[in-house]
Chain A
Amino acid sequence: MKDRMITPRAGKPGSLAGATALLVLALLSIWPALPEARAQEAHGLFFSANQAFREGDYSRAAQGYETLVRQGRAGADVYYNLGNAYFRLGRLGLALVNYERARILAPRDPDVDYNLRHAKGMRVDEAEKIREFPAAGWLAKVTGREVFIAFAAVNALFFLILALRSFRDWEWTWYAAIGLAILWAVGAFAGGLKGHQAATDHRAVVVEDQIEVRAGPHEEDTLLFLLHTGTVVDQERMEDGWRLVRFSQDKRGWTQAPGVEPIRPLGPGNGPT
């Protein structure tokens, strides 16, 4: 035992373990500080962008908000402010894109709703009626996160009651289980529908003053119609820098990708051009 204690090979594991322990301790000590530092940086950027907006430097304000979007720090208010900045810059299309994104995150925010309607009123092209799923109206007033939280709560209560009934056959637990089962089914349906809506939301907004929609993805193809900034289209697919868009049932064609900005997905990967 003594020999083993004094050999160098025997001493190395001990020092390595100690170093590892120190490293883990150091990481643990700074771990809470890393997100905090990033949050401080994001707050600073947000306040400076707001300050630029107040001073009328809308271009700098837009850059600040865009940086927050790229960093994944954008909530509904950042998208809303970004929409305001683009609106002041006369970029109606980009303003509408960001108002729409803000509305996805905060569907009941009256400011977002007002500015979105105001911006839509300035569009040149007359929007055509889009048929919607009947439940889309009320479902559009809640976010996917809210649906998830509500469903998670119902889910927890439902299985809690089931667990309780493993030990006690109280009568009220039976009624509670039935009621919660109905709520569970409704929540699951709403969650599924919301997910489907998000997955099939291919709306995009014309962000250039005017775009040409052609019969095919080439400059030589026949010009079908023109769309103007702020007009909402459905993007069907993208090929070689061209997007296949549909404005209405009978107005569909290809346009160059930079002229149209998809509303989804939100987050760092989908900044404006």
Chain B
Amino acid sequence: MKNRIVPILMFLALLGAAPVWGAVSVTLEVDRAQVHMDDTVSLICRVTGSRDATTPVIANLDGFDAFPAGTGSRFQLINGQISTSMDHRYQLTPLRQGTFTIGPATVKVDGQIYTSNQVQIQVMEPQFQAGEDEAGDLFMKATLSADRGYPGQEVLYKLSVYSVHRAELTALSLPEVKGITLKQLQKPLRYGTTKNGRSYDVYEFTYALTATEPGAFDLPPARLQLTVYPPRRMPSGFGGVLNDDFFNMARGRDVSLASQGVSLTVLPFPEQGRPRDFSGLVGDFNLESGLNPKKVRAGESATLTVVIRGKGNVRLIPELSMPDLPGVKVYPDQSAFTEEVTNSGSIGEKTMKWALVPQKAGEYILPPLSVSFLNPGTGTYQTLTSKPFTLAVELGEENGVAGASGGPGPASDGKRKVAVVGEDILPIHESPEAVMPAAMPPWWVAALILFAPVLAAGGCRAWKHAARKRAGKARGAAAKKALKRFTGQVRAMEPRADDLLRTFNEFLVVRLGLDAASLTPGEAKKSLLAAGAPPEPVARAAGIMSNLEERVFAGRGWENDAALAGELTETARELDRALKRSRPRP
């Protein structure tokens, strides 16, 4: 089912396609531009866009015998549009040597005459000389377009295989010679020719041969592997009807062919008249140049274009450089290079452009640009030179250039865009400080600067630590003497409740190394227990302190109590001993 859908769709597309009959054109084509006297050329006159054209009338066929070789028509479906064309074929046999321009061909369609292009054919001497007549059914011939050349010049190396029978080429081995390179030009040609009344199929391979250095070069034969299909006669029992190519049941025969060797002499470049700018360019070239526009305002750009095109070693077309133009900024563009390989050699074109931006008004004469090449036909150097253009520059409208030149007035808003009219470096600095460089300090100074604050901060920390340590030691010493001081004070005073409470409080503060000025009984108990004193004397001390506090707060602080003083002294001794036994407080 699927297989049926595709043809149906194609048919529908054909039906829907719009035929294009209107654009009638006529073209002439030949299968080769260079032939030998003993060759035939195929000429096609193609009429496109109409099938009702009259038979073409081809002009300038006086150098050839022309024989009609049939007609053919073709349809093309491109982007949904049908076009048709009719080919009128002719076989041309050269009558004499020379270069001939054939055409144009004219046809008449609906009363209107249409004209074709012209084609050029170069007819050379016969390829086969006397004595080569017995070349046989199958042979290969090597020819050079010239037996002398120059380094870099493209010489055409042509291999022609002549076969009376059908043949299939399988492998071609080209000669290899040091200093010689071969580059194939286009795809091989196949055409028919007649020699001594025999028809040959000709397979033609064309190469561009280039020598890098002068010298005499002998190219060994090229070798070709091919399969030939000679006809095998069918039995005559069918009345000879089957003796036709259509029924040819021939089996292929592998054959090896060799061409003859060829010689090439590569001459050194002539010394005489060699231009300085000669870059090794060999061939035939021409140069075109243009300046657009030829008149600009200051600050605007004009484009100078130089095109070098020709035939030869086109890859060596040099990159031209534009010399400095005072008052004009020159911006070279990337050059564009195209190369076309034809069977008659390489054809190339290099396009170079420069944007020219004049800075001031005036007339600028652009210096001519030149390129030199060697013409291998004459053996002389030729120099192509561009036209010496003149660029007329008017005052700029919107920039400072105009103002600087006393040009037109300001723009409508009274302001002008400032344009750069010149560039240069700024002047030298003359400050005496130049010779007193502000360099980085030496590493040890830098280290000192960076580490001094660190050391200072560390020193402060250490000093504070030491101070604390000293204070601790002082407290320890005072604690050791606290009991002695307390007992001395108690002994020396009257045992009043308020004095006893104050003195015992001082004893505890000093003995325990506390910062507090006075302690409540609870605080004293907590601190003593924390310092490692046993609970029993601690509880007793807290009780005595509570007793003393009650008397003081009850207004009886003046009461003397010698027994309480003795008990307090004994408790203090007991606490002191207990604290000494316990781990000393730092």
Which chain B residues lie closer than 8 Å to A78 at the CB level?
Answer: 434-435, 437
Q: Which of the residues A72, A77, A85 comes within 8 Å of B433, measured between beta carbons?
A: A77
Interface contact A162-B457, CB-CB below 8 Å: yes
A152-B430 in contact given A43-B435, A166-B464 (Cβ < 8 Å): no
How far apart are the CA atoms of A145 and B456 in the complex, in Å? 24
Q: Which of the residues B427, B433, B464 comes within 8 Å of A167, measured between beta carbons?
A: B464
Interface contact A77-B431, CB-CB below 8 Å: yes
Q: Which of the residues B423, B428, B432, B450 comes within 8 Å of A152, measured between beta carbons?
A: B450
Which chain A residues lie closer than 8 Å to B434 at the CB level?
Answer: 46, 74-78, 81
Interface contact B430-A50, CB-CB below 8 Å: yes
Shortest distance between the CB of A239 and any CB in chain B (Å) = 30
Interface contact B432-A46, CB-CB below 8 Å: yes
Binds B, one of A24-32, A111-119, A128-136, A222-230: A111-119
Q: Which of the residues B425, B437, B450, B460 comes within 8 Å of A87, measured between beta carbons?
A: B425
Which chain B residues lie closer than 8 Å to A42 at the CB level?
Answer: 435
Interface contact B433-A166, CB-CB below 8 Å: no
Which chain B residues lie closer than 8 Å to A158 at the CB level?
Answer: 453
Shortest distance between the CB of B295 and any CB in chain A (Å) = 28
In the assembled complex, B424 has its CB within 8 A of some CB on chain A: yes
In the assembled complex, B169 has its CB within 8 A of some CB on chain A: no
Binds A, one of B274-282, B438-446, B576-584: B438-446
- Interface residues in B396-453 by Cβ distance below 8 A to A read 423-441, 446, 449-450, 452-453
Shortest distance between the CB of B586 and any CB in chain A (Å) = 20
Q: Which residue of A lies closest to B437 (CB)?
A: A75
Interface contact B432-A43, CB-CB below 8 Å: yes
Shortest distance between the CB of B439 and any CB in chain A (Å) = 7
In the assembled complex, A173 has its CB within 8 A of some CB on chain B: no
Which residue among B426, B433, B461 has the maximum number of chain A CB atoms within 10 Å of its CB? Answer: B426
Interface contact A39-B429, CB-CB below 8 Å: no
Interface contact A105-B428, CB-CB below 8 Å: no
Q: Which of the residues B435, B454, B461 comes within 8 Å of A68, measured between beta carbons?
A: B435
Q: Which residue of A lies closest to B441 (CB)?
A: A148
Shortest distance between the CB of B446 and any CB in chain A (Å) = 7
In the assembled complex, A22 has its CB within 8 A of some CB on chain B: no
- Interface residues in A113-160 by Cβ distance below 8 A to B read 114-115, 118-119, 121, 144-145, 148, 151-152, 155-156, 158-160
Q: Which of the residues B426, B439, B441 comes within 8 Å of A115, measured between beta carbons?
A: B426
How far apart are the CA atoms of A119 and B429 in the complex, in Å? 17
Shortest distance between the CB of B4 and any CB in chain A (Å) = 57
Q: Which residue of B lies closest to A54 (CB)?
A: B428
Which chain B residues lie closer than 8 Å to A47 at the CB level?
Answer: 430
Interface contact B453-A159, CB-CB below 8 Å: yes
* Tier of interface size on chain A: 35 or more
Which chain A residues lie closer than 8 Å to B423 at the CB level?
Answer: 118, 121
Interface contact A160-B453, CB-CB below 8 Å: yes
A145-B438 in contact given A152-B450, A160-B456, A163-B457 (Cβ < 8 Å): yes
In the assembled complex, A84 has its CB within 8 A of some CB on chain B: yes
A75-B460 in contact given A84-B428, A118-B424 (Cβ < 8 Å): no
A74-B437 in contact given A158-B453, A163-B457 (Cβ < 8 Å): yes
In the assembled complex, A254 has its CB within 8 A of some CB on chain B: no
Interface contact A167-B460, CB-CB below 8 Å: yes
How far apart are the CA atoms of A39 and B436 in the complex, in Å? 8
Shortest distance between the CB of A151 and any CB in chain B (Å) = 8
Which residue among B429, B452, B459, B460 has the maximum number of chain A CB atoms within 10 Å of its CB? Answer: B429
Shortest distance between the CB of B467 and any CB in chain A (Å) = 10
A80-B429 in contact given A42-B435, A166-B464 (Cβ < 8 Å): yes
Interface contact B461-A50, CB-CB below 8 Å: no
Task: Encode contact with A along B209-224: 1 for CB under 8 Å, 0 otherwise.
Answer: 0000000000000000
How far apart are the CA atoms of A78 and B433 in the complex, in Å? 10
Shortest distance between the CB of A188 and any CB in chain B (Å) = 10
Which chain A residues lie closer than 8 Å to B435 at the CB level?
Answer: 39, 42-43, 45-46, 68, 73-75, 78
Task: Encode contact with B along A52-80: 1 for CB under 8 Å, 0 otherwise.
Answer: 01000000000000001000111111101
How far apart are the CA atoms of A43 and B461 in the complex, in Å? 49
Interface contact B453-A145, CB-CB below 8 Å: no
Q: Which of the residues A45, A73, A115, A166 comes within 8 Å of B460, measured between beta carbons?
A: A166
Q: Which residue of A lies closest to B456 (CB)?
A: A163
Interface contact B428-A159, CB-CB below 8 Å: no
Interface contact B437-A84, CB-CB below 8 Å: no
Shortest distance between the CB of A71 and any CB in chain B (Å) = 9
Q: Which residue of A lies closest to B428 (CB)?
A: A81
Which chain A residues lie closer than 8 Å to B460 at the CB level?
Answer: 163, 166-167
Interface contact A148-B446, CB-CB below 8 Å: yes
How far apart are the CA atoms of A160 and B455 in the complex, in Å? 10
How far apart are the CA atoms of A85 and B439 in the complex, in Å? 23
Which chain A residues lie closer than 8 Å to B433 at the CB level?
Answer: 75, 77
Shortest distance between the CB of B166 and any CB in chain A (Å) = 51
Interface contact B425-A115, CB-CB below 8 Å: yes
How far apart are the CA atoms of A166 and B449 in the complex, in Å? 21
Which chain B residues lie closer than 8 Å to A73 at the CB level?
Answer: 435-437
Which chain B residues lie closer than 8 Å to A162 at the CB level?
Answer: 457
How far apart are the CA atoms of A186 and B441 in the complex, in Å? 21
Shortest distance between the CB of B516 and any CB in chain A (Å) = 20
How far apart are the CA atoms of A104 and B433 in the complex, in Å? 17
Q: Which residue of B lies closest to A115 (CB)?
A: B425
- Interface residues in B255-303 by Cβ distance below 8 A to A read none
Q: Which of the residues A53, A144, A166 comes within 8 Å of B457, measured between beta carbons?
A: A166
A159-B454 in contact given A50-B430, A81-B428, A111-B429 (Cβ < 8 Å): yes
How far apart are the CA atoms of A80 and B424 in the complex, in Å? 14
Interface contact A145-B439, CB-CB below 8 Å: yes
Interface contact A111-B439, CB-CB below 8 Å: no
How far apart are the CA atoms of A45 and B459 in the complex, in Å? 48
Shortest distance between the CB of B354 and any CB in chain A (Å) = 16
Q: Which residue of B lies closest to A81 (CB)?
A: B428
Which chain B residues lie closer than 8 Å to A159 at the CB level?
Answer: 453-454, 456-457
Which chain B residues lie closer than 8 Å to A72 at the CB level?
Answer: 437
How far apart are the CA atoms of A78 and B428 in the complex, in Å? 9
How far apart are the CA atoms of A231 and B297 in the complex, in Å? 34
Task: Encode contact with A along B472-510: 1 for CB under 8 Å, 0 otherwise.
Answer: 000000000000000000000000000000000000000
Which chain B residues lie closer than 8 Å to A85 at the CB level?
Answer: 428
How far apart are the CA atoms of A45 and B431 in the complex, in Å? 13
How far apart are the CA atoms of A121 and B17 in the complex, in Å? 60
Shortest distance between the CB of A86 and any CB in chain B (Å) = 11
Which chain A residues lie closer than 8 Å to B452 at the CB level?
Answer: 156
Task: Encode contact with B along A77-120: 1 for CB under 8 Å, 0 otherwise.
Answer: 11011001101000000000000000001000001001100110
A111-B426 in contact given A145-B438, A148-B446, A152-B450 (Cβ < 8 Å): yes
- Interface residues in B364-407 by Cβ distance below 8 A to A read none
A155-B450 in contact given A111-B429, A119-B425, A166-B457 (Cβ < 8 Å): yes
Known contacts A76-B434, A152-B446, A156-B453, then 16 further A-B pairs from the complex at CB < 8 Å, ordered by chain A residue: A42-B435, A43-B435, A53-B428, A73-B435, A73-B437, A77-B431, A80-B428, A81-B429, A84-B425, A114-B425, A121-B423, A145-B438, A158-B453, A159-B456, A163-B461, A166-B464
- Selected A-B contacts with CB under 8 Å, 29 pairs: A39-B435, A45-B435, A46-B434, A47-B430, A50-B430, A68-B435, A73-B437, A75-B433, A75-B435, A75-B436, A76-B434, A77-B433, A77-B434, A80-B429, A81-B434, A118-B424, A145-B440, A151-B450, A155-B450, A155-B453, A155-B454, A156-B452, A159-B453, A159-B454, A162-B457, A163-B457, A163-B460, A163-B461, A166-B461
